[in-house]
Amino acid sequence: MDWKQEAADKLLQYEARRQSLENIPAEIRRLELDYTSLRSSTADAVPSHGNGSRREDAMLTNIVRREELARQLESARAWVAMTDGGLSALDEEDQLVLDRFFVHRRKGACEQLCEELDREKAQVYRRRDRALRRFTLALYGGLES
């Protein structure tokens, strides 16, 4: 396994995963509100394809979606905490370099870092590689499988 590539991929996904920590609870809340609006099944309800009423099917689907989202939320929390831990092991300049190259990517990141850090392009790229290596070590403890 290429641990360095895994670490780079984590950084590329970081903002979306952090955003999911806000979006998933909002979606769970929306589903909870939808669930309360579903009326309970009546005795004369017409069975649907699953031998239950459509309302029962909708209620079960809602419950399953909320449970799956709760699992995804726990996974996202663990993922973000792990990534935050790896980033916290770096100094500010390493964090800045990784942020510009991976987390908040944009055109001209290297040139902007050259100006901000008063470094040549080659030095910035070496700093990026060194920061990514340190981040990988902080996350996984090694670079080889």
pLDDT over 70, % of the chain: 88
Q: For position 96, what pLDDT does the model report?
A: 96
pLDDT tens digits, 95-112 = 999 999 999 998 999 999
DSSP string for 85-145: HHHHTS-HHHHHHHIIIIIT--TTHHHHHHHHHT--HHHHHHHHHHHHHHHHHHHHS-S--
Separation of alpha carbons 134 and 129, rounded Å? 9
Domain ranges, residue 39? 3-140
Residue 26 included in any domain: yes
pLDDT tens digits, 21-50 = 999 999 999 999 998 887 654 455 555 555
Residue type, 67: E
Q: How confident is the model at residue 1 (pLDDT cuts 50, 70, 90)?
A: confident
Q: How far is CA 140 from CA 3, 4, 6, 136, in A?
A: 7, 9, 10, 6
pLDDT at 56 over 90: no
Structure-model confidence comparison of residues 48 and 139, the more confident one: 139
Q: Are 140 and 6 in contact (CB under 8 A)?
A: yes
Radius of gyration of the chain from Cα atoms?
A: 23
Residue 145 included in any domain: no
Residue 107 included in any domain: yes
Domain count for the chain? 1
Residue 49 included in any domain: yes
Residue 9 included in any domain: yes
Degrees to nearest 5, angle at CA 51 with 46 and 56: 70
Q: For position 2, what pLDDT does the model report?
A: 84
- The pTM (predicted TM-score) of the whole model is 0.79
The residue assigned the tokens 């030095």 is: 123
Q: For position 53, what pLDDT does the model report?
A: 77
Rounded mean pLDDT, 117-136: 95
Task: Supply the mean pLDDT for the chain.
Answer: 89
